[in-house]
Structure 1
Amino acid sequence: MHQLSLTDFEISIENIVSESKKVQLFPLEEYDHIIVSASAGKDSMVCLFKLLDLGVPTEKIELWHQSIDGKKDHYFEFMDWPVTESYVEAAGEHFGIKTAYQWRAKGIYGELLRKESLTGDVYYCENGNIIHLPTKNGKETTRLKWPAMSPNLRVRWCSPYVKIDVFRRVLNNHPRFQGTLEQPKKVLVLTGERREESPNRAKYLECEVHPCSNKKRIVHAWRPVIDYSEQAIWDMYEKRRFLPHPAYLLGWNRTSCFGCIFSTADLWAMMREIAPERFYRLAEMEKELNHTIDTNRLTLEEKANLGSTERLPKDKRLSKWVKLALSRNFNKSDLIMDKFEIPAGAFRGNTGGPS
């Protein structure tokens, strides 16, 4: 009898699990709600463009953004680009689409400094009101260490704790998304992963059952740009003459956290150049925690010293884009360019972000 190796066994189990998640999407008009999980990066924005090109009514679409540094009274500027939230909101206003925010109390800063306590409560905005979802279950634990630079979400805790889990808790508890056994709500969630980005993402399904699905709520997950090339992504921007997130204009090839743990030496050097106070805030936190972002190898200062700032624009655009990227106010009138130009961060590979 053929003996399966551990690797063969793991692959077989992975294939079985993947097959069990596969789903055929309903016609788009049958969904009660269509949510675009909008990071403000190029891929999630093209998910929105694709829905609009397919003729989906704007009143059925919502942009959901997880505010990783918290929001309102829970805000502490720490890891994210200051402009990101207002960029997403401006895009929603431009297209006449509802924008919603979700966040964990004190954001990633609070989770990083968690000591012998539960993870922070979750909040979301609805019609101008802030709704509170308290954390009641779980274990009181201590972090005091940066997320690991790993594709494994069990140790790269930033993504699950300030994005994925926050999104799911809101969807699971939001009254608008509760149906009945006889008439369950139908919800479609779009995310912008692409197979071209990494071997890990190459394995993702385009359509699958979302973890928030239950007997009263049918939730499907759709990755509509999964097979798009980066060229195809920028072609969609050019078609609309749509201004990319300012991070791309400054030379960043991915729009994640400003202080993403996966940032390359060049990106840290660029951050130190355009926002030294933000860079040194993280560098000081490394010293306070006695734990470096680079998994206890190089400090941020050591890593930045190995990088180059050559990507940054060399003309008057630099001060313009820096001012915009570090602002918390983005005007929707700035979204449409007179003439689209490929940003400095385009076609620079997939390093500097999670795999």
Structure 2
Amino acid sequence: MRGHKTIKGALLIGLIAMGLSCSKHTSTQGDDTTPPVVVKDNTFYNPLLSSGPDPWIYKKDGMFYFTSTNAVNITLWATPAISDLSKVTPKVVWSPPTTGANSKNIWAPELHYLQGKWYLYYTAGASSDLATQRCFVLENAGGDPTSGAWVDKGKIGDPAANFFAIDGTVMEYKSKMYFIWSGQISASDATQRIYIAEMSDPWTLKSARVQISKPDYDWEKRGSSVNEGPEALISPSGTAFVVYSGSNCATDDYGLGMLRLKDNGDPLNPADWTKSATPVFSKSINNNVFGPGHNGFFKSKDDKEDWIVYHANSQSGLGCGGTRSPRIQKFTWNTDGTPNFGEPLAVSSKLTKPSGD
């Protein structure tokens, strides 16, 4: 019996020790003040904003600057993460005069940094008559385009061809600057064409305008014959492209076409440009994306990715108004050196943020 009691005692002491050990361990876990690991959400959804026709994004010194058409002024958004654009408070940086050549219909503003200063290129007119629409330039010598004074540098265009002109942009190619825009051949012309001219400075043309594209294919003539919204894109190998919008913006078939400059070609020689016969980016009925167009291009924050920005409607028949919202998506390059924009994605698609955002 004595031996039996000894065994029972030993077992009891062991159980008590185990209980104390467990109690101590549990208490230690409960007192742990190490914060939980927070997994950052690296995704976003289009659109970036609920409205924003003719969107434009420019990146400099780790900041993204966004602007779009609102018809009454020029407003800038500034953000270190373009996918967070909706969290930014925009700032009106320029309002038009009450009268004059650039007082009405403020369209398609674009921000560029050239020769050490900021420039805003935009379209405006003198009245509700859209035939008066022309391209204009503003200059800001400050470091931050959302502050400082914007100086009106006036109209930019070919003095010998003072006709309808919209959607001006700048292409920097082989140490030269070129102004590219959509215009008409005469005051009575109803066809929008793509013109280019060399620049002597950011607000002056050095050469006469040269036509490098007009609507040739059926897909460019839906609603009306239109080539507009030209944007320059330089490939990793140095090839120059101009991506433009074709057909009337009020149609679901508004989409993107592309011109390619031959290697070492002259941008002012129309024969050195070739046009894709089919659109390179167009509506997706399956994804409920209609009228995707008036695009721009930008690099991710770490310069590792290429992205396209464009506007589109989420339903058929919404036309050319404020329902057009800005969207972005990554694109890649084909083995032949051309860009591959893929298909415009649905607003329900969860996308990975641009690298570095």
Q: TM-score range by the shorter chain?
A: under 0.3
What is the TM-score normalised by the length of structure 2? 0.23
Task: Give me the TM-score of the superposition, normalised by structure 1.
Answer: 0.23
Structure showing greater relative contact order (alpha-carbon pairs closer than 8 Å, 6 or more residues apart): 1
**Highest CA radius of gyration, 1 or 2?**
2
Q: Which structure dedicates a bigger proportion of its chain to helix?
A: 1
